[in-house]
């Protein structure tokens, strides 16, 4: 399944943060080379709770429209089964620095997480493509 996590270079809908393409590309390159490719359901903790594994990230990239995208595979595990039954959005757990204008200057992705839209940390809106 392919998900759009956020649009680079524009303010996010809820926080107003701007994630420049070059900053996110560096974060993606590092994540794809060294990061944890497994993700969780409803768990933003670092390190992640391995009992909440729901999916695996096969690829993460920025497309021609500046969308940060992820291709994921649902795991054959209890949380993977649950993931297939309810509409959720894909986000990520990460950290970095931001200037006074809400422009992110450094960023590191720790892992991805599916959460519900109502109770989610409202940094991004994810679209299933």
> Who contacts 75 (Cβ-Cβ below 8 Å, separation ≥6)?
38, 53, 54, 55, 56
Question: What's the pLDDT at 13?
Answer: 66
Question: What's the pLDDT at 105?
Answer: 93
The CB-side HSE value for 90 (13 A sphere, CA atoms) comes to 27
Query: What is the count of structural domains for the chain?
Result: 1
Question: What's the pLDDT at 106?
Answer: 92
Task: Give the mean pLDDT per block of 10 residues along the chain (129 residues).
Answer: 83 81 93 84 78 88 91 89 81 87 90 65 41
For residue 39, the cross-strand partners are: 55
* Residue 48 belongs to domain spanning: 2-128
Question: What's the pLDDT at 116?
Answer: 62
């Amino acid at each position: 399944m392919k998900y759009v996590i956020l649009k680079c270079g524009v303010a996010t809908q809820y926080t107003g943060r701007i994630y420049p393409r070059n900053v996110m590309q560096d974060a993606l390159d590092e994540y794809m080379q060294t990061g944890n490719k497994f993700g969780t359901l409803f768990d933003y903790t670092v390190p992640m709770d391995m009992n909440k594994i729901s999916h695996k990230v096969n690829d993460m990239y920025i497309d021609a429209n500046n969308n940060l995208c992820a291709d994921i595979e649902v795991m054959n595990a209890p949380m993977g089964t649950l993931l297939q039954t309810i509409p959720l959005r894909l986000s990520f757990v990460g950290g970095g620095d931001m200037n006074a204008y809400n422009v992110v200057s450094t960023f590191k992705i720790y892992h991805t997480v599916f959460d519900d839209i109502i109770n989610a940390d409202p940094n991004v809106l994810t679209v299933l493509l």
